[in-house]
Amino acid sequence: MAEYVPEMANDSVCPVDAKEELLDECESIWKQMEECQSKLMLLGMETLLKSDAKLSLLMTRVKALTAEYNQWQKRSPEIISTNPDVLLALGKEELQKVKDDLEMVLSTVQSKNKQLEEDLKREQQWHEEQEQILDVLNEIEEETKTQVEQLSKERAFHELQNKMLKLKLYKEELLNSLGKFLEEHFPLPEKGRSAKKKKNSSEEPAVELVTLHEILEILINKLMSTPHEPYVTINDSFWPPYIELLLRYGIALRHPEDPNRIRLEAFHM
């Protein structure tokens, strides 16, 4: 916005001439004050003795300064010069000084604002970079969590497979040991001995007796495959003394309603 400066007439006083005129008026007033001060000093000294001259001079100065101070306190500032051209030139000069000072302040503020804008851009760029880094870190964290979960599942699955394999091997070892023990201590009455389904019928083939090991395997498999119906029907291939042995020692149990059906005792429960 353009600054409004009052136009001066062609015959107006330039700033240098106005300042000189104002200084001349100030010097004239100052000379008048000095003359008045000298007259007051002379009047006071005429009536004093020489011995009291110094003290009286100081007292006179104090009184004069006090009176002058009181006078200046009571009076209001007056315009030294009433020349409008002089006042206009002085006002213009003061306005120019104020304008220069404001322009300097404006330049300083603009420079500071520019610096602040650059700092803000750098901070925004740094903030964006930090957000990008944070996003990358979050993605890495999610991928790591997924990988850890997958590895945990795979590790648990492998551990479970290893346990199952160990159990299977242990089961086979137990079954082999049990089979050897039963073959050694509980053989069939006579190797190759068979039981007939009918005593008076020689035409039908004989039934081969199964070993105690095979009876136990049948009972175990029945219990594990159908735990809700673990009973096995006794047939002619089961040697009765072995059945009685299992029942007597609590290894097998008869069905409460059908004595021809037995089941293995649930030792794993």
pLDDT tens for 210-261 read: 888 888 889 988 988 898 899 999 998 899 999 999 999 888 999 999 999 9
Closest CA to 19 of 81, 99, 101, 100: 81
Question: Closest Cα partner for 38 from 64, 13, 56, 7?
Answer: 64
Select the more confidently predicted residue: 98 or 179.
98
Residue 130 lies in a domain: no
The mean of the pLDDT values for the chain is 80
Contact (CB, 8 A) for 228 and 263: no
- What does the pLDDT read at residue 11? 46
Residue 130 has pLDDT above 50, yes or no: yes
- Is 260 inside any structural domain? yes
Over residues 164-190, the mean pLDDT reads 83
Q: Would residue 30 count as lying in a domain?
A: yes
More confident residue, 47 or 125: 125
DSSP state, residue 206: P
Dig out the tokens for 87 from the structure: 């006042």
Top-confidence residue, 83 or 181: 181
Give Cβ neighbours of residue 219 (< 8 Å, ≥ 6 apart). 230, 232, 252, 262, 263, 264
Identify whether the C-beta of residue 245 lies closer than 8 Å to the C-beta of residue 238. Answer: no
| Residue matched to tokens 């009765």 | 240
Nearest to 99 by CA among 213, 199, 5, 25: 5
- The set of residues, in sequence order, having a beta carbon less than 8 Å from that of 217 and lying 6+ positions away, is 175
Q: Last residue of a domain, which of 82, 102, 122?
A: 82
Question: How far apart are the C-alpha atoms of 25 and 212, rounded to whole Å?
Answer: 146
Range of the domain at 236: 186-199+206-264
pLDDT number for residue 256: 92
Give pTM, 2 decimals. Answer: 0.39
pLDDT surpasses 50 at 2: no
pLDDT tens, 82-103?
678 877 888 888 899 999 999 9
**Does the residue 60 lie in any domain?**
yes
Q: Predicted confidence band at 126 (pLDDT cuts at 50, 70, 90)?
A: very high
Residue 53, both tokens = 């001259």
Main-chain dihedrals φ then ψ at residue 260, nearest 5 degrees: -85, 5
As given in the structure block, the two tokens for residue 256 are 């409460």
CB 92 within 8 A of CB 5: yes
Q: Is the dihedral of CA 240, 246, 249, 252 positive or negative?
A: negative
The pLDDT of residue 30: 83
Whether the Cβ atoms of residue 262 and residue 254 lie closer than 8 Å to each other? yes
Angle at alpha carbon of residue 129, lines to 128 and 133, rounded to 5°: 115
Helix (H, G, I), strand (E, B) or coil at 261: strand
Residue 87 maps to a domain: no
Identify the pLDDT of residue 124.
94
Residue 73: predicted pLDDT = 73
The more confident residue out of 28 and 143 is 143
pLDDT recorded at residue 88:
84
Among the candidates 61, 82, 103, a domain finishes at 82
Residue 199 clears pLDDT 70, i.e. is over it: no
pLDDT at 203 over 50: no
Output the pLDDT for position 136. 93
53, pLDDT greater than 90? no
pLDDT of residue 27: 82
How far apart, in whole angstroms, are the C-alpha atoms of residue 224 and residue 216?
A: 12
Mean pLDDT of 107-117: 93
Banded pLDDT at 122 (limits 50, 70, 90): very high
pLDDT score for 7: 43
Q: For residue 78, what pLDDT is reported?
A: 59
| Listed residues 82, 107, 123: the one ending a domain | 82
> Domains in the chain: how many in total?
2
Q: Is residue 236 part of a domain?
A: yes
**Residue 157 located in a structural domain:** no
pLDDT at 19 over 90: no
Q: Which among 260, 194, 206 is positioned nearest to 233, based on CA atoms?
A: 260
